[in-house]
Amino acid sequence: MKKKLLVSIFYIIFIFNSNLFSNESDKTLKVGLLAPLSGPHSQIGISLMYSLQLALEEIGDEDVKIIPRDSGNNNKEKINSALSEMRSLGVKIIIGPTTHAEFEEVKRYNDLIFISPSNINPRFSNNIISIGVSLDSQLITLINFLKSQKKSKTIIMYPKNKYQKLVEDKLQTLKLEGMKKFTYSPNPEVLTGEIETLTNYNQRKRNLELRKKMFQDKEDEQSVKELERLEQLYTLGGVNFDSVIIIDFGNNLKSVLTSLVYTDVSQTDVLFTTINQWFDESIFYENTIKNLYYPSVNYKEFKKYNNKYFKKFKIFPNEITILAYDALGLIYYAWKKNGEIKSINDFAFKNKIKGKIGTFSFKNGKVIQELDIYKTENKKFVKF
């Protein structure tokens, strides 16, 4: 399989490079790809190349050429070598880098423009535009959704990990009024106790026991019925919030959801939301939550893209590759609109731009995606 994959990589690079020198003219748009084609993250780089091949086919313009080069695993030597080579070939605009950690290195090449799928800093920054599905865009979408559902007592929950400061900086920038913040341990054993404190679980459990004792020695019909009702409960009394935004993923997210249900947080009274999960179907098997809401890209287009990718390459793409797909479309639009691309300001569009993942807007140097709200329901992703 690995040998077959290597053959495919070299074949695609050969095709890209062959196209570069065939029928080349002054009207040629040369787009670089700076991605890890070697090392532990090479699958991402390969997936990005495949994605751009699909985008090229859809654009159908022979004057658009892709020049892929290897960035390694945050390897400064490879990055600089790749950029120097692309620059010598006449490349002015590059898709990449894929990670925010490489931004400082590419900023030095101020004669080049970079469109990055990173979601860390969604803005025009020096010579870099980040178009990833940013936390900013997700939180804005979630806040508007909660307002539409008349929720006013929201708790934003996030783990104590290496991303904690990043999350807190974003929350401070958005100036979220009236929303409480709650940090928790990523250790499930510690987490449960923290959620018990948040939900006042022990007191609510005691409230139930005290209430049940009031009816245990009574034999009238009304008391018997009330006791039967209380026996069906785990706690008595509600929590002091009506909605949660959980900024987490995968198994950690599932642990938080499980702890909230374990502490008897009513799914009728409290709205459960989280951030973009890229339509992770493993959420379906988290049976403790009936409805979980989150913002994401256009599911119909995302699924169509994945199916098209799989049909051609017999593997499924990495999620971020759809961003590279949109990035090439964005570059092509700017090129056709202006006749050329001179600077990063050529992407400061006044109007909204529609891509595969949704609609982009570029305001005051910020990149905002208009995301949709989806919910998990009966093992399906349903647009709300």
Class of domain 2-133+299-365: alpha beta
When pLDDT is cut at 50, 70 and 90, the band that residue 186 belongs to is: very high
Q: What are phi and psi of 316, to 5 degrees?
A: -90, 145
> Where are the domain boundaries for CATH 3.40.50.2300 in the chain?
2-133+299-365, 135-199+239-296
Q: Which CATH superfamily groups domain 135-199+239-296?
A: Response regulator (3.40.50.2300)
Is the per-residue pLDDT at 19 higher than 60? Answer: no
Q: What contacts 349, CB < 8 A, 6 or more positions away?
A: 334, 362
Mean per-residue pLDDT, 202-221: 86
When pLDDT is cut at 50, 70 and 90, the band that residue 24 belongs to is: low
- Give pLDDT, residue 222: 86
Structure pTM? 0.86
Q: At CA 332, angle to CA 42 and CA 17, rounded to 5?
A: 50
Q: What contacts 321, CB < 8 A, 6 or more positions away?
A: 44, 47, 48, 50, 51, 309
Q: What does the longest C-alpha to C-alpha distance in the chain come to?
A: 95
Q: Quote the crossing angle between the two packed helices 250-262 and 188-198, to the nearest 10°.
A: 40
- Give pLDDT, residue 77: 94
Query: In 3-state terms, what secondary structure has residue 238?
Result: coil
- Give pLDDT, residue 219: 81
Is the per-residue pLDDT at 114 higher than 90? Answer: yes
Rg, Å, the chain Cα set: 25
Query: In 3-state terms, what secondary structure has residue 41?
Result: coil
DSSP code per residue over 196-229: HHHTTHHHHHHHHHHHHHHHHT--SHHHHHHHHH
**Structure-token pair, residue 89:** 């070939």
Q: Are 87 and 112 in contact (CB under 8 A)?
A: yes
Buried b (16+ CB within 10 A) or exposed e, 282-292: ebeebeebeeb
Cβ atoms < 10 Å from Cβ of 271: 20
